[in-house]
Amino acid sequence: MSEFRSSRDGRITDERPWWDTFPWWSLIIVGLLAWMGWQIIVSDDYGLAWERIIPGLGLTLRSTIYAFGIALAIALIAGTGQMSRNVIIRNLARTYVEFVRGIPMLPLIFTVALILVPELTNLANTRLDAWFGWEFKLSFEMRATVTLAVIYGAYMAEIFRGGIQSIPPGQIEAGRSLGLNRRQTMRSVVLPQAMRAIIPPMGNDFIAILKDTSLLSVLGALEITQRARQFSASTFKFREGYFVSAFIYLVLTLSLSVLLGVLERRMSRDRKGER
């Protein structure tokens, strides 16, 4: 607790004045975004950059949602897999998580997109071609998206595991001693409680994935960052290009943070009987 001297009567107090607790940063951010938006509206150069970059929004959002969805599925499997009673499943899951988390994203994207996927598709396609006269192709966009999913699947697996393991063992014992089986105890007792620990960091990872879709640009996918690069390189208007892409990312991530905050508050309001 910090103490403040109240100027009025010379007493110390632990009440903080309103200007000390007011979230000024949100005003600054809103002001900054308004100013950036205004630049884009009034300036021809910024306007042009906007027109050239904004078509990448669809791809950015689509990759984010695909990557997050696939990552969620992987995380559920790998997260619960690490707690499996089966020694093989447990160790496979752990290996995946430790392996992927130890490698930076960029080299992993190159490895998957330029080596792993071509080799695997080649392998599959010799058969598919012979049998069905059809070949399997994965676009560079999807290759990078899947890589993102594989990476975030490992991070999110840890969120699942941590959330589930944060539930005191007494809860599981109470469930089992009432005759609930493992699965019922997991579903009705553990997971609902674990969700409170799981949802906020999952939301943060969604935002992180959104930003990391900018890595798709290294494979030439025409998302926001790649379009900004192309615009800047062809017009030499670097400032405008990166200014506009930063603006788009900021609007997206900040509004997602606000949504997430609302969701978290709603979740804690559900516990309004509880202290």
Partner 1 sequence: MNTSGTPVSDTPMSGTPMIQMAGVSKTFNRTIHAVRDVDLDVAEGEVVVIVGPSGSGKSTVLRCINLLEVPTTGTVVVDGHTLTNAGTDLDRVRAEVGMVFQQFNLFPHLTVMENITLAQRKVRGRSRAEAQEMGMRQLTRVGIPDKADAFPRQLSGGQQQRVAIARSLAMEPKVMLFDEPTSALDPEMVKEVLDVMLELAGEGMTMVVVTHEMGFAKAAADRLVFIDEGEIVETGLPEEVFSNPSHDRTRAFFAKILY
For residue 270, the minimal CB distance to partner 1 (Å) is 9
* Structure letter (DSSP) for residue 114: I
Residue 75 CA, distance from chain mean position: 13
At residue 62, φ and ψ (nearest 5 deg) are: -60, -45
* Structure letter (DSSP) for residue 22: S
For residue 132, the minimal CB distance to partner 1 (Å) is 47
For residue 23, the minimal CB distance to partner 1 (Å) is 30
CB-nearer residue toward partner 1: 176 or 211? 176
Maximum distance among all Cα pairs of the chain, rounded to whole angstroms: 90
Residues that bind partner 1 (CB under 8 A): 168, 170-171, 173-181, 184, 188-189, 192-193, 271, 273-275
CB-nearer residue toward partner 1: 91 or 171? 171
For residue 180, the minimal CB distance to partner 1 (Å) is 6
CB-nearer residue toward partner 1: 53 or 190? 190
In this structure, how many other beta carbons lie within 10 angstroms of the beta carbon of residue 193?
Answer: 16
Q: Which of these, 86, 199, 64, 243, lies nearest to 141 by C-alpha position?
A: 64
CB-nearer residue toward partner 1: 127 or 182? 182
Would you mind telling me the total number of residues written for the chain in this entry? 275
Distance CA 29, CA 239 (A): 20
Mention every residue, 6+ apart, whose C-beta is less than 8 A from residue 126: none
Tokens representing 275 are 């202290």
CB-nearer residue toward partner 1: 77 or 83? 83
Strand, helix or coil for residue 137: coil
For residue 188, the minimal CB distance to partner 1 (Å) is 6
For residue 234, the minimal CB distance to partner 1 (Å) is 56
Buried b (16+ CB within 10 A) or exposed e, 158-186: bbbbebbeebeeeebeebeeeebeeeebb
Q: Which of these, 236, 223, 259, lies nearest to 55 by C-alpha position?
A: 223
Strand, helix or coil for residue 93: helix
Amino acid at 21: T
For residue 217, the minimal CB distance to partner 1 (Å) is 43
CB-nearer residue toward partner 1: 13 or 171? 171
CB-nearer residue toward partner 1: 8 or 275? 275
